[in-house]
Structure 1
Amino acid sequence: MARFISLLKKSTGPLTAELIQTPGDFGLGKVPARLKPASTITSICGYCATGCQLKIHLDENGQAINLSPQAGYPVNQGMACPKGWQALDPLDAPDRGTTPLLRGADGNLHPIDWPTALDTFVSRFRAIQEAHGHEAAAFLSTGQTPLEEMAFLGCLWKFGMGFLHGDANTRQCMATAVTAYKQSFGFDAPPATYADFEESDVIVLVGSNLCIAHPILWQRIMRNRRSPKIIVIDPRSTETSQAATHHVQLKPKGDLALYYALAHCILRDGRIDPASIARSEGFDKFAEFVKDHTPESAVGKTGLPAEIIEALARDVSEPGKRVSWWWTMGINQSHEGVRAAQAIINLCLITGNIGKPGTGPNSVTGQCNAMGSRLFSNTTSLVGGHDFANADHRRKVAEGLGLPLDCIPKERSLAYDEILAAAERGEIKGLWVVATNPFHSWIDSGRLEALRDKLEFLVVQDMYPTTETARAADLFLPAAGWGEKSGTFINSERRIGTLKPVKKAPGQALSDFRIFRLLANAWGCGRLFEQWTDPESAFKLLRDLTADRPCDITGIESYDHLDQSGGIQWPYPISDCRLKIADSPQETRPADINRQSSISNRPSPERRLFEDGIYYTPSGKARILFSNPAPLPEPPCDDYPFLLLTGRGSSSQWHTQSRTAKSDILRKLAPAAAYIEIHPRDARRLGIASGQQVLIRSSRGEMTATAYLAPTVQPGNVFVPMHYPEVNRLTHPSFDPHSRQPNYKACAVSLTPL
């Protein structure tokens, strides 16, 4: 161990004392004491929010050499998708960031040491704060880092450094579901458990290509022994729709009109659950509202015959049948995604398909820790599921984290798009981007190049200095990635699981957690975070902060407890524990209770919400919310006659491919260059042959792609996978008014054969 520390010191050069910790801690998190040479260790996968557990095989030096899926874990049950099987590959990429980089007078990035990087970060951001105020800088973070790191970032930036604005790229994938749940249920509370895939009689997948986006969840459906009817609602003929029992191929963004027409039919025919309706607010107004939303009135908006709508209404409301609804980005990434998600929630409420096995309005989350970001990133919501505007919440957070009350701001942050708009206006001068790549992934991405010129200081903290965003940075901070640090993720079904360090980060790269500690000390606010010594210590602080919130996890004892339990779904308050705790004459805070690991403290492996019919609203009732469908922000026109759809391309591709493109195997499983799906009828009319290059234009930008002719898209529509850097030069900068989530899924384009 001493030799390892010596090697680390030699590899990193002169650093502050904070960089080298006690034996077993290399800025990666504590290496578990139970590790033995040539052994295995488990870790949750760091790609999507399915939350699969992987068994990582280690050599005699404790370094990962291979992995396999964990057989007994309740999520993946011995399965893994291609990304999971190759999860170690990105760690060995030749373009890993190994040293901090600073842009010099020659316009190029040059290696520097960590003390220089820290001093540059502090001096430049302090200058911005002193000249322009606490709203003149912002961070943009991710759903890819552990919740301990994202919480540390948000707390450091707002409570320690005194800035106000910060948001995460979960705004791009899950903000709509978050807002829909908050408004309808009183809290961001996805109700389902993955077991519901296997307990449903009718499974409705909306805007979700589950087969390739979440293949393990599709396998859970395949294990359903109830012979379920699988209905896919999607304008495109996806791999999932082709494997389903029914494909409802509606017009793009015809969802809301369809769901209101379904509600019309269900209420007209009396296929309702009075007890569930009694536990809801707003039903009478909703019933009056949908009277005019007949199947016939929805034909033009949905492109579906009235008889298809009638049949679907019967399928999703048949008495005695368990119906579950599952949606992903086809709903979320929309100009009216919140109301579409709530229309699904409403259908579940009026038919009683909630709080029971095989039911529920269930969002399938995108990133591995998007749920952790939603609860703990301290961006537009106060850390731990609290509210910045609530004085009691601010006091509780200050006391729980040992902070002065005046450190906690009363105002919420700007949302992601609002931060970028403020930067375009010159109001935000500094930006800190952590583990995300907005110069590729953000809607209408060409605008970010112009925005870059408005910024005085751009810091990018990432695994690779080669991403589109990192190449534009003034300062690059090299970060450890998944497999090189510890922490926890929360998956789509609210299950908290642990990730472990199984490799040393290269060169001077450090975990984000360690970088935040260094920056806290360099800024002069390190004393506020003295208890944040390592990820597990931070987890326990955050755990105790959730007391009495819907996401209460005070019953979780430790990382070991999570591992022994196969992960634990929130809520898991200490009152749910089956440990026998001695009676105490005075009230005892969760942090003070003698927590002893015990096999008896394992929660049941699957727990869904709202089984008691009580929601998180003040009245305890769910809210039925609705509004009339809005027109497309950018419909096709004479100059741009096609509607562009975007989405996942294959199970081996992930987001901007900053990691999956590092794997030789994953690259072989996906097209290297962009392609476009065109209906053969449209291709014939335009003289486009299969395999021909096509120029795709919108009013914002253009790109080329290889033509793939197939009736997977409807005439007048085209599809391009989102993973290629040119795609978001085309997309339209429109947003859901409630969630501020971008509308990636529909914009007007033209096609020209080359």
Structure 2
Amino acid sequence: MSTPSHFLKQLIPPVRQWQGPKTDRLVRKPGKFGLGQVPANVVPDATTTMVCGFCATGCGLNIHMKENEAVGLTPATEYPVNLGMACPKGWEALTPLQAKDRATAPLLREQRGGQLEEVDWDRAMVVFCERIKEIQAKHGKESVAFLSTGQIVAEEMAFLGALSKFGMGMKHGDGNTRQCMATAVVAYKQSFGFDSPPYTYQDFEESDVIVLIGSNLCIAHPIMWQRVERNPHNPEIVVIDPRKTETAVAATQHYPIAPKSDLVFFYGLARLLLEKGYVDHKFIAAHCEHFDEFEKHIAQFTPDEVEKRSGISIAQLDQLAETIGAGKRVSFWWTMGVNQGHEAVRTAQAIINIALMTGNIGRPGTGANSITGQCNAMGSRLFSNTTNLLGGHDFSNQADREKVAEALAMNPELIPTETGWAYDQIIEGIHAGKIKALWVVATNGSHSWIHQEQYREAMEKLDFLVVQDMYATTETVEQADLLLPAAGWGEKDGVFINSERRIGLVKKVAKAPGSALSDFNIFRLIAQYWGCGEMFSRWSSPEHVFRILTKISQGQPCDISGIDSYRTLDELGGIQWPCRPEDVEGLTQDNQRRLFSDGRFFHANGRAKFLFSDPVEVAEPTDDEFPFILLTGRGSSAQWHTQTRTKKSAVLRKLYPQSIYVEVHPEDAEKLGIEPNDTITVHSRRAEVTVTAMVTPTVQPGQLFMPMHYAKTNQLTKASFDPFSRQPSYKFCAVRVVR
């Protein structure tokens, strides 16, 4: 067996000197490949298609190559997701790779308070392993945890999850997908028996009623909105959202529900649908359970109670019930407006219950459909060893542990028997002194986590903070003791899984700068230096790991054992799970795949469950001192999360305000003496933030809205969590405004 240093020499090629961005490579001039995305003086010699690396829509992009390196891109016209369309972020997908602040070599802070200084990979690996082993020896293996991401490819997620938990003995690890999709995961698992979004994007075009809940589709997922616009059935488009968003303006019906009154609202809607006879009793009897208990539960949610709690009038509620009842193909769609709430799981299940009781599931144009956030959040959900054991298996199930261990050729005793802490519990563990070292991979929690200052304080309490990232300037890197420079999207191979469960390819079309490595090769290197390299000897390439994952998935609802190679994915334009061997032939005729068309769900008895609870109050209601509700969310289709990548593009920066702003209703502005573009201060119980006032009727009186992309926003938010999913409630906190 080779020594770690010998392995290092094999893994890292001679370092090419990083000279900064090649600005001439992406000069915007009229070009051969559409909208100026290829310089006019460059003639590509090849084109390859891969999946975009921003959101979970999962668009196909044609990458135009010259001498084996990307020189531009255009949307892929035949890819079944986007059909030749791309949002602003997609058009600029290559630009962040050329940023000036790329991490190009390992950086080490020798002493607290000192500077991060460049070291070689050997030194970085020795320090990484020695420091973590010392902490584990002193405080126990549970004293080290990781926080991962929905941004890296599934093979890297699986490698991190297996290396940390099976090879290094960590118990606790979670992903930043906890911030966006944990609610949908738990809701589907409890209701359907597995984390299983049932739809295909084709359903946007086949519905006659489209109900969007807490989803500003026009801005957050513009390609999905364009699929809605392709619908030939003149559908009713219903938006349920406190704000008059861009999507609400484009809709046929808007219900400006009071923030976090969703559960009362949907229980009342279900009650009214039942009274009007818009219930498929035959479907319920054949395929569901606990409906009788649900019927008794919703009896208390009268139209009067709904109006009192939600602000939606009895007449409006009646109109919505009639719209849904008259629909033949009704689809319900939700995203962060539902997921990021204090009772989010039960809210998502209230939506699922309405789809079930009206029989709107398993058919084209129907479904209770969660829209995912990050590009590979679905990959994280299935293959990261965070919310479940690899492939949707259960850590606590001995048969599952043995199956996974056999596929990995590992001792099943190495697999933990329980899942471990969620993201917020890990942060609490740091504050309590139980977590002493943290390994952060491709996420920027010092910007994005709720109650930001509390997170930053936690990072300072750690004995050792390792950050693995493609940039050297994120807020989390600024607090790190060790930075491991990683390749980004387009600089490595692997797969993403999008919102509709479609597995698509990511390809290496550019070289990582300096000595930066793919996350996959960083994990290989750590395994060697840690001393468990032999355990991962078969993990020689992403495609080899993908084949292992297909084997692990066998027999699961997410079975992808029929996908034998990356080439198959490439030829078919991605494949939705499940894909067993017998499914492959039919994909050439129809590459759209829905779940539950046979009425069978994933619980042992094949039935879906009606689940419900009594509504509870928000953690921080408004009062005389803090009379406004602060809402947060997507600000622009040109921004992405913490802007770590989108702000690298001059084009995208022109498409949104550079300074943080807050939306204020004109009535509130008049009372407070606030004029448009005034500088005002928003106070919560945790912080105060100076912002620019945007006076607009898009918010209701008593409510404010602030985009999440600005770092200051999460100084204000309150750390409260859904009890089932542990997902943060970003969408509601009490604030006051001072001119």
TM-score range, shorter chain: over 0.9
Extract unaligned runs of 5+ from structure 2. Answer: 15-42
Alignment deviations for residues 181-221 of structure 1 (CA, whole Å, 9 cap, x no partner): 00000000000100000000000000000001000000000
Output aligned runs, 1:115-134, within 5 Å: 115-134=122-141
Q: Distance in 2 between matches of 1:603 and 1:402?
A: 37
Residue in 2 aligned with 1:9? none
Alignment deviations for residues 328-368 of structure 1 (CA, whole Å, 9 cap, x no partner): 10000000110010000000100000000000000000000
Shift of 1:473: 0.2
Shift of 1:601: 6.5
Residue in 2 aligned with 1:569? 576
Output aligned runs, 1:156-167, within 5 Å: 156-167=163-174
Q: 1:69 aligns with which of 42, 51, 75?
A: 75
Residue in 1 aligned with 2:309? 301
Q: Distance in 2 between matches of 1:228 and 1:710?
A: 29
Residue in 1 aligned with 2:545? 538
Shift of 1:109: 0.4
Is 1:739 the counterpart of 2:725 in the alignment?
A: yes
Is 1:281 the counterpart of 2:289 in the alignment?
A: yes
User: What is the SS of the residue equivalent to 2:504?
Assistant: strand
Q: Distance in 1 between matches of 2:725 and 2:587?
A: 38
Shift of 1:549: 0.4
Output aligned runs, 1:227-306, within 5 Å: 227-278=234-285, 279-306=287-314
Shift of 1:21: 7.1
User: What is the SS of the residue equivalent to 2:275?
Assistant: helix
Q: 1:84 aligns with which of 90, 100, 110?
A: 90
Q: Distance in 2 between matches of 1:449 and 1:195?
A: 43
TM-score normalised by length of structure 1? 0.92
Is 1:700 the counterpart of 2:686 in the alignment?
A: yes
Alignment deviations for residues 617-642 of structure 1 (CA, whole Å, 9 cap, x no partner): 01100000001111111111111110
Q: Distance in 2 between matches of 1:265 and 1:449?
A: 47
Shift of 1:41: 1.0
Q: Are 1:331 and 1:337, in contact at CA under 8 Å, matched by a contact in 2? A: yes
Is 1:751 the counterpart of 2:737 in the alignment?
A: yes
Q: Distance in 2 between matches of 1:661 and 1:220?
A: 27
Report sequence identity in percent. Answer: 57
Residue in 1 aligned with 2:662? 676
User: What is the SS of the residue equivalent to 2:682?
Assistant: strand
Residue in 2 aligned with 1:17? 9
Q: Are 1:15 and 1:114, in contact at CA under 8 Å, matched by a contact in 2? A: no
Q: Are 2:210 and 2:236, in contact at CA under 8 Å, matched by a contact in 1? A: yes
Q: Are 1:380 and 1:414, in contact at CA under 8 Å, matched by a contact in 2? A: no
Q: 1:37 to 1:240 in 2, by over 3 A?
A: closer
Q: Are 1:206 and 1:233, in contact at CA under 8 Å, matched by a contact in 2? A: yes
Residue in 1 aligned with 2:523? 516
Q: 1:350 aligns with which of 339, 354, 357?
A: 357
Q: Are 1:15 and 1:115, in contact at CA under 8 Å, matched by a contact in 2? A: no
Shift of 1:15: 8.2
User: What is the SS of the residue equivalent to 1:488?
Assistant: strand
Q: Distance in 2 between matches of 1:343 and 1:538?
A: 38
Shift of 1:603: 6.7
One-letter amino acid matched to 1:285: E
Residue in 2 aligned with 1:223? 230
Q: Are 2:182 and 2:339, in contact at CA under 8 Å, matched by a contact in 1? A: yes
RMSD: 1.4
Residue in 2 aligned with 1:371? 378
Output aligned runs, 1:51-450, within 5 Å: 51-59=58-66, 61-105=67-111, 107-278=114-285, 279-318=287-326, 321-450=328-457
One-letter amino acid matched to 2:90: G
Residue in 2 aligned with 1:40? 47
Q: Distance in 1 between matches of 2:483 and 2:589?
A: 43
Is 1:619 the counterpart of 2:625 in the alignment?
A: no
Q: Are 2:210 and 2:332, in contact at CA under 8 Å, matched by a contact in 1? A: yes
Q: Distance in 1 between matches of 2:613 and 2:494?
A: 41
Q: Distance in 1 between matches of 2:11 and 2:688?
A: 46
Q: Are 1:283 and 1:624, in contact at CA under 8 Å, matched by a contact in 2? A: yes
Extract unaligned runs of 5+ from structure 1. Answer: 1-12, 23-35, 579-599
Shift of 1:62: 1.1
Residue in 2 aligned with 1:4? none
Q: Are 1:577 and 1:603, in contact at CA under 8 Å, matched by a contact in 2? A: no
Shift of 1:248: 0.6
Q: Distance in 2 between matches of 1:46 and 1:334?
A: 27
Q: Are 1:81 and 1:215, in contact at CA under 8 Å, matched by a contact in 2? A: yes
User: What is the SS of the residue equivalent to 1:208?
Assistant: coil
Q: Distance in 2 between matches of 1:620 and 1:21?
A: 53
Residue in 2 aligned with 1:27? none
Q: Distance in 2 between matches of 1:491 and 1:738?
A: 24
User: What is the SS of the residue equivalent to 1:231?
Assistant: strand
Query: Which deviates the most, 99-108 or 176-185?
Result: 99-108
User: What is the SS of the residue equivalent to 2:392?
Assistant: coil
Residue in 2 aligned with 1:497? 504
Residue in 1 aligned with 2:33? none
Q: Distance in 1 between matches of 2:10 and 2:379?
A: 27
Q: Are 2:444 and 2:474, in contact at CA under 8 Å, matched by a contact in 1? A: yes
Shift of 1:17: 2.5
Q: Distance in 2 between matches of 1:698 and 1:37?
A: 53
In the TM superposition, structure 1's runs of 4+ consecutive aligned residues that sit over 4 Å from their partners are none
One-letter amino acid matched to 1:16: L
Q: 1:663 to 1:708 in 2, by over 3 A?
A: same
Alignment deviations for residues 220-273 of structure 1 (CA, whole Å, 9 cap, x no partner): 000000000000000001000001111111100111111101110111121111
One-letter amino acid matched to 1:644: L
